[in-house]
Amino acid sequence: MKFNTKTIHGGQKPEATTGAVVSPIFQTSTFAQFNAGESQAYNYSRGANPTRTALEKSLASLENGTHGFAFSSGLAAIDCVLRTLKPGDEIIAGNDLYGGTYRLFTQLFEKYGLKFIYVNMNSKEALLNAISEKTTLVWLETPTNPLLKIVDIKAISKAVKGVNSAILIGIDNTFATPYLQQPLTLGADIVMHSATKYLGGHSDLVMGALVVKNDKLAEELHFNQFAAGAIAGPMDSFLALRGIKTLHIRMQRHCENAIKVAVFLKNHPKVGAVYFPGLEDHPNYKIAKKQMKSFGGVVSFSLKDESKAATFKFLENIKLFTLAESLGGVESMVNHSATMSHASMPKEERLKIGIADSLIRLSVGIEAIEDVLADLESALNL
């Protein structure tokens, strides 16, 4: 099936008992056992739930994988991956990560004996130099949050596997969504999503997801999820399934609007730097054009006046864009990375990778573009 068809039909069938076209919400914690000692498909909802199973089959289909897993959050999904490792293992990560991921790495798993090495993933030399006999996982985002750097997944996978085929490649695909790129097809082993964002698409759930195509890895991830219990509930699974059905048409509009916003900002006299991979002067434009179907719905920028006062004035003046955590909903949102998404990252570390106090991240929604641009114009000129 083509992708647009997969969002509606991928991994989905009418419900077996009633023929319901939409997967019902199986709001139950447990299931009756019909015969003592005989295993059933569903016993207890921590292990599996029919609504969650329907979602996980959809996720696997979208990412061209064989096994999908739905979690209580994106960070819970990453946590599950890290639980496959052991003390002394080394993880090479991109040096431009979502602040919550960085916090999980540095404030939790470093205490448990994992070692994290941060490199510029656009430097093949830096990546290969960081690999040691203890390297077990390479973890990266593309596009990155919030600087929208693009990493060549195919090139990195080939380079890393050429050194040691056992090293796992994990990709945070949240910003791109499977509509724009499928990392497993490009050589990755694990795809992660904060399904809270574009997959759900309506700012009404918190959820994470993993997709893999290796049976042994899938078995280990399932055990970790079952044992630790970080599962998505049936109601949230239903909402995510509903969101996925319109993912392709929402992403089309997000992308269409975002490129227009990026061009508008680039040409505005009060705007300084603009970060968007769809601009031809973006350092990773060629990689993005090769690897992605389009360039996504997030645009980051800073004002020429980089003072905190000017930045906060813009954030206070903008009206259509909601000042809020998160992104990927149908409504436009604005985020101040230094005090919101990356507040847990020490300032000196933020500044090293270019996340200044003046950086503003826009999640461009699917509203009429004329209204979106008028709101930005108004906020910039007040």
Three-class DSSP labels, 197-252 = CCCCCCCCCCCEEEEECCHHHHHHHHHHHHHHCCECCHHHHHHHHHHHCCHHHHHH
- Residue 349: pLDDT above 90? no
Identity of the residue numbered 87: P
Q: Which of 42, 46, 253, 313 is catalytic?
A: 46
pLDDT band at 199 (very low <50, low <70, confident <90, very high): very high
The four Cα atoms 68, 73, 75, 76 give a dihedral, to 10 degrees, of -70
Residue 149's closest CA among 285, 332, 302, 264? 285
Render pLDDT for 264-292 as a digit per residue (tens, 0 to 9). Answer: 999 999 999 999 999 999 999 999 999 99
pLDDT of residue 215: 98
Q: Which of 172, 189, 236, 375 is catalytic?
A: 172
pLDDT of residue 200: 98
- Would you give the DSSP letter of residue 30? B
How high does pLDDT run on average in the chain?
Answer: 96
242 is catalytic: no
Q: Which of 83, 197, 293, 361 is catalytic?
A: 197
Q: Angle at which helices 74-82 and 215-228 pack, to 10 degrees?
A: 110
Beta bridge partners of 190: 170, 212
Element (DSSP H or E) covering residue 84: none
pLDDT of residue 6: 96
Pairing of strands 115-119, 90-94: parallel
CB 320 within 8 A of CB 367: yes
Q: Which of 52, 57, 98, 152 is catalytic?
A: 98
46 is catalytic: yes
98 is catalytic: yes
Average the pLDDT over 319-328 and give the result: 96
pLDDT of residue 210: 98
pTM: 0.96
pLDDT of residue 341: 85
172 is catalytic: yes
- Residue 39: pLDDT above 80? no
> Which percentage of the chain shows pLDDT scores above 90?
93
User: What are the tokens at 26?
Assistant: 């199986």
- Residue 378: pLDDT above 80? yes
